[in-house]
Structure 1
Amino acid sequence: MSGELDLSRDNTNSDEQIIKILEEKIKALQIEAESLRKELNYYKSELEKLLSPPLIEAVVLDVLNNNRVIVRSTSGPNLVVNLSNGIDISNIKPGSSVALNQRGSTIVEILPNREDPLVKSMEIVEKPSVKYSDIGGLEKQIQELREVVELPLKNPAIFKELGVQPPKGVLLFGPPGTGKTMLAKAVATESNSTFIHVVASEFAQKFVGEGARIVREVFELAKKKAPSIVFIDEIDAIGAKRVDLGTSGEREIQRTLMQLLSELDGFQPLDNVKIIAATNRVDILDPALLRPGRFDRLIEIPLPDLKARKDILQIYIKKMKVRLDNFDIDKIARYTEGFSGADIRNICTEAGYIAIREGRREIYVDDFIKAINRVNENRKKEEYKSREEKYA
């Protein structure tokens, strides 16, 4: 009897172990099934994304009374569209970015506001390191820029007290390489302002209305980052005199110019935004740009005279390892007649290369003479080439 009892007990223990093992297998299979279910759902959602049609971006122009909206589609003309369920019309305002379905007939999503990458790239986050002391021979121009740009940014209360309206915009004009960009950077540095550098050709876009939109967004960025200075280089690219007839590209540039004029008219002179523009061809600019209330202060940046060339040379020589024995800076300055500030910087760089080629760790006065002769040769070649192209 006792042997049969032990045998039945052993059978019971064996059955319990088998049941336990099976339960563990079932649990493992359930966990695996749940994992596979999640993976299947993931691939289903990815497949839906791949097969779903793309949405069309549009900008809201106006909100109508009957839950309909006028939008400007990026892929075509202006459209009157409806709202899909779940879109609150109170959240839609003119200028908002929205997404339309593939047919372009319904707003399905309100997009977050974003800055154009091209506009964002124009902002120099770090303040420029150029100071007035780095610019030689332009004392009069520096003083005038400080009065019309820096002073209103730093102390607008003086102008309000006197009832004086400072200029909205300043136009720097003169030959290439005379320091127009350096002056604008120096003003931004000394006034502790955000510096937004724009080359006017960046406003000339391929699609209708894009140039005007970028102009508008640049000024919005300037207001957001105030105090700020917007420097528009080579403004003649969009600011040339308008003509009655022209290609579609020329008409688009005229629309961009009109948007720029509108933005210049749209802010107060004592706002913490100042506009500085530069050009080598002031003679071809549209008179509308130069009328009072826009770029009404013109500052000429001429080629440096003898004293200015000497000042520029001294600024660069201070940073160089020059052998000062028998170094006549007046002689070097006289040899650079007709040179711009950029040419003088090029001479200093070339003199350094001559010393490096000859294995020296000091720059001699003869290196500067050789550099001047080399730059003169290059200038003559450029002049001859330009004459050939002119009469070809």
Structure 2
Amino acid sequence: MIFIVRTAQKTSSKSTRESNTEPAECTAEFLVMEPAGYPMASVLDEYPEITDPGVFEHYAREQWKGYKAHKGDYLFDRRMYPDFAYKVADVEPPGSVIGQNTRIIVRDTVAGNVPTIEFRSDVTFDDVIGQQNARKKCKLIERFLEAPDKFGKWAPRNVLFYGPSGTGKTMLAKALANKAHVPIIPVKATELIGEFVGEGARQIHQLYERAQEMAPCILFIDELDAIALDRRHQELRGDVAEIVNALLTEMDGIVERPGVCTIGATNRTDTIDPAVRSRFEEEIEFTLPDEKERLEILESNIETFPIPAKGVDLKAIAKMTGGLSGRDLVGKVLKTALHNVIIEDREFVSAEDLLASVKKLKNIPQPSNSDRMYI
């Protein structure tokens, strides 16, 4: 593993004393670093490999304790590998001080496809319209993340979100992380499929190692069917079996990952390997919005238009859009209408603009401008 960090100038004794008197809330909760290398390249350069993240974390805290960390800063090693730089990729809260309890994580830049950590999500349950049954079942995950030690072997380690695309699976996972005040690592499963055989399995194990460092946390894997493909389809991709086996190893808890809750999301449960699906203790269904929920989605989103909407009948639009997901309503009805108005340099969005978007989406033929029909 190779690491990068940038140099934060050491503070004077006065500033160090002042940092020690700062309130506890200014102490960094998490610090993520990436290996940047030496300021000047040389054939004799030796890049440090971290074999024990826990030992390195203690080493880093002792060396950089008291520094104010900002995203983009560089921290330089002054002991084992003098002048080797690590770049601060993220810090929570921003501009906080590295303290004795700061979690320090080094992101392995060799695994280029491994996703970026989201420390906190801004999405709340108020942003998720509908899905009452799913929200109710998610309370168990919330309780677990708030107090993982209480659950022991009864922890909800693997949960499956399934249902049509655009029904709020990702939003609910982020809202859950926000409510439980834990980090979330969102990743699309397609990012974990490597170019070479063996690379996909390695990236899955690295992903879980990172989640363990962040625990308690949510590991959200979208499009799960891409890596949990039924092994009977091995001929479609040569790495199907080894990726599924790696995923099974992690889901089975052969390596203990206390405090990590895996949430897989898919709209293709029929293609998931039966062995993987059996590892989910809970399956939570997401459904398309009903007419009332569609109206709520339309009303809440049209309020954020950069230009006004006049004379629109959203109830009529909600009635016409049965079978559409929330994503369809926002991205293909509201956004299409808005963009057409902007292109035509008009001052407001009308009812006709929304109707035209719906008709285009549902392939409803537009009325002819001709007053007569000729035979």
TM over 0.5: yes
**Runs of 5+ in structure 1 lacking a partner?**
1-45, 61-112, 380-392
Please tell me the root mean square deviation across aligned C-alpha atoms, in Å.
3.5
Which residue matches 2:284?
A: 299
State the alpha-carbon separation in 1 of the partners of residues 219 and 209 from structure 2: 11
- 1:273 and 2:260 equivalent? yes
Secondary structure at the counterpart of residue 362 of structure 2: helix
Secondary structure at the counterpart of residue 159 of structure 2: strand
State the alpha-carbon separation in 2 of the partners of residues 359 and 244 from structure 1: 51
- 1:367 and 2:356 equivalent? no
- 1:343 and 2:341 equivalent? no
State the alpha-carbon separation in 2 of the partners of residues 284 and 236 from structure 1: 6
Which residue matches 1:221?
A: 210
**Equivalent of 2:272, from 253, 277, 285?**
285
Which residue matches 1:212?
A: 201
Secondary structure at the counterpart of residue 221 of structure 2: strand
Who wins on radius of gyration, i.e. which is larger?
A: 1
**Runs of 5+ in structure 2 lacking a partner?**
1-39, 52-105, 366-375
Which residue matches 2:28?
A: none
Paired amino acid for 2:146? K
Which residue matches 2:35?
A: none
C-alpha displacement at 1:296, in angstroms?
2.1
C-alpha displacement at 1:265, in angstroms?
1.6
- 1:257 and 2:210 equivalent? no
Q: 1:1-392 maps to which residues of 2 (within 5 A)?
A: 115-118=108-111, 121-145=114-138, 147-156=139-148, 159=151, 165-243=154-232, 246=235, 249-250=237-238, 252-266=239-253, 271-291=258-278, 294-320=279-305, 321-323=307-309, 325=311, 327-346=312-331, 347-377=333-363
Distance 1:268 1:314, change over 3 A: farther
Secondary structure at the counterpart of residue 231 of structure 2: coil
C-alpha displacement at 1:244, in angstroms?
8.9
Is the CA contact 1:156–1:270 (under 8 Å) kept in the aligned structure 2?
Answer: no
Secondary structure at the counterpart of residue 355 of structure 1: helix
Paired amino acid for 1:318? E
Which string of whole-angstrom CA distances, capped at 9 and with x for unpartnered residues, describes residues 25-82 of structure 1?
Answer: xxxxxxxxxxxxxxxxxxxxx9xx66x9x99x9999xxxxxxxxxxxxxxxxxxxxxx
Is the CA contact 1:211–1:253 (under 8 Å) kept in the aligned structure 2?
Answer: no
Secondary structure at the counterpart of residue 161 of structure 2: strand
Tell me which protein shows more helix as a share of its residues: 1
Q: Say how many residue pairs are matched.
A: 270
State the alpha-carbon separation in 1 of the partners of residues 181 and 234 from structure 2: 44
Question: Which of 369-378 and 168-177 deviates more?
Answer: 369-378
C-alpha displacement at 1:126, in angstroms?
4.5
Distance 1:330 1:210, change over 3 A: same
Secondary structure at the counterpart of residue 154 of structure 2: coil
Paired amino acid for 2:323? G
Question: Which of 113-122 and 270-279 deviates more?
Answer: 113-122
C-alpha displacement at 1:255, in angstroms?
1.2
Is the CA contact 1:179–1:301 (under 8 Å) kept in the aligned structure 2?
Answer: yes
C-alpha displacement at 1:372, in angstroms?
1.2
TM-score by length of 1: 0.60
Is the CA contact 2:230–2:271 (under 8 Å) kept in the aligned structure 1?
Answer: yes
State the alpha-carbon separation in 1 of the partners of residues 193 and 118 from structure 2: 24
Is the CA contact 1:168–1:296 (under 8 Å) kept in the aligned structure 2?
Answer: yes
Which string of whole-angstrom CA distances, capped at 9 and with x for unpartnered residues, describes residues 242-280 of structure 1?
Answer: 239747x43x22112111111112279993211111111
Paired amino acid for 1:199? K
C-alpha displacement at 1:218, in angstroms?
0.6
Identity %: 33
TM-score by length of 2: 0.63
